[in-house]
Amino acid sequence: MTVRTVVGRGVRLGALIGVWPAGIVGTLCLVAAFVFLVGGHDGSAWKLTAAGAFAVLGSMAVGVTLGTATGLALALAPRGLLTRPPLRGLLAALTAGLPVAALFVAALTGGGYTLASYPPSIHFLAWSATLTIALVAAARSGDIAGCGADL
C-alpha cells in the first residue's frame, strides 16, 4: 500500500474526529446567536457567530492535522509493528492523543493560570476528549494502515 493511500485514510479519520466537536460547538453558537439576535443584542449575536465559525474551522483543522499525522506515522512504521494490533494501536493513539493533550495544557496554562486553577469539570472534559480521540485512532489504525482483521 502506498504512503499516499495510508495518509489519505488518516485524513478521512481526522475529518471524522474534527467534525463531531465542530458540529456541536457550531450548533450551540448558532442557537445562542439566534437567541441574542431575537433579544435585540446584534453585537453579541455577531460575536457568537464569529466565535462559532472560528471554533468549527479550528476543530476541523486540528482533526485533519491529527489524521494526517496518524496516517503518516502508520505509513512509515515498519511492517513488523503494523502486523501486531496492540503496537499499531499504541502508535496511532500516541500520535493522535499526545498533540491534543499538549494543546489542552498549553491552552489552559496561559496568562498566569495553572492546571490547578480550573475546576474538575474542565479537566474531565479535556482529558476525556483526549482519551476518546486516542482510542478512536487506535481502533481505526488497522483500517488506516490497510491491515485488516485477518492478521
Tens of pLDDT, residues 90-111: 999 999 999 999 999 998 898 8
Nearest C-alpha neighbor of 134 from the set 95, 104, 93, 105: 93
CA angle 79/64/26 to nearest 5° reads 150
Residue 54's pLDDT is what?
Answer: 93
Between CA 135 and CA 132 the distance in angstroms is 5
Provide the grid cell at 55.
471554533
Low-confidence ranges of the chain (pLDDT < 70): 148-151
- CA distance linking residue 27 with residue 117, whole number of Å: 28
Global model pTM greater than 0.75: yes
Q: Are 144 and 92 in contact (CB under 8 A)?
A: yes
Question: Considering just the CA atoms, what is the radius of gyration of the chain in Å?
Answer: 18
Residues with Cβ < 8 Å from 139, sequence gap 6 or more?
Answer: 89
Question: How far is the C-alpha of 82 from the C-alpha of 84, rounded, in Å?
Answer: 5
Instruction: List strand residue ranges (DSSP E) for 18-109, in order.
Output: none
Structure confidence at residue 150 (pLDDT): 39
pLDDT at position 151: 39
